[in-house]
């Protein structure tokens, strides 16, 4: 399976969640066993030699490949969730996104200064959610932070929001 085949299998949903937004639905990749395996293999090959100790997944689509990748890398998995979903003490970050504002939280004890962290989500659009996730993770002072997406929407230039110390990669570019 090629990256072009993966791109062709992504479902596009116009005007979701609000009018004017074209939503790229990666669940069509997850339900196809060949595409899921291909994504898993690509992500593993990208990060197998980077010393990652924790993979952070952003609710909710970031949980799927993030947890799968963590298991393959022999790393821990840390969820970033919407407020009120995590049971222990949390830290939080609020941010603007293309169609509103939001807040995310993570357990305060999820990461420490010895960790090399990869933060994963499904899509990079304007970058607000991932920048907030980076800020959240950096509060806990890990050794290094990297960022990964399944899809990057190049025309929105979300990569420009990240500081030079953050390695940002994606599997597919649209």
Annotated catalytic residues are 61, 98
Residue (of 81, 166, 161) closest to 127 by Cα position: 161
CA distance 167 to 9: 27
Peptide bond into 60 cis (omega under 30): yes
Give the position of tokens 């960790």.
115
115 vs 6, 20, 75, 92, 134, CA distance in Å?
32, 39, 10, 19, 14
Q: Which residues pair with 144 in a beta bridge?
A: 116
CA distance 154 to 170: 10
- Judge contact between 46 and 68, C-beta under 8 A: no
Structure tokens at 156: 């929105």
Contacts of 84 (CB under 8 A, 6+ apart): none
């Amino acid at each position: 399976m090629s990256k072009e085949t993966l791109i062709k299998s992504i479902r596009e949903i116009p005007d979701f969640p609000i009018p004017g937004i074209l939503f790229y639905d990666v669940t069509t990749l997850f339900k196809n066993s060949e595409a899921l395996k291909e994504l898993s293999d690509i992500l593993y090959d990208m990060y197998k030699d980077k010393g990652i100790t924790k993979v952070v997944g952003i609710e909710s689509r970031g949980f799927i490949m993030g947890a799968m990748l963590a298991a393959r890398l022999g790393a821990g998995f840390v969820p970033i969730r919407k407020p009120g979903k995590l049971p222990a003490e949390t830290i939080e970050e609020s941010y603007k996104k293309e169609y509103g504002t939001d807040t995310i939280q993570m357990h305060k004890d999820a990461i420490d200064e010895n960790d090399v962290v990869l933060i994963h989500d499904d899509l990079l659009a304007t970058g607000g959610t991932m920048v907030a996730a980076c800020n959240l993770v950096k509060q806990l002072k890990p050794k290094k932070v990297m960022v990964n997406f399944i899809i990057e929407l190049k025309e929105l230039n979300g990569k420009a929001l990240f500081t030079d110390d953050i390695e940002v990669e994606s599997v597919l570019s649209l």
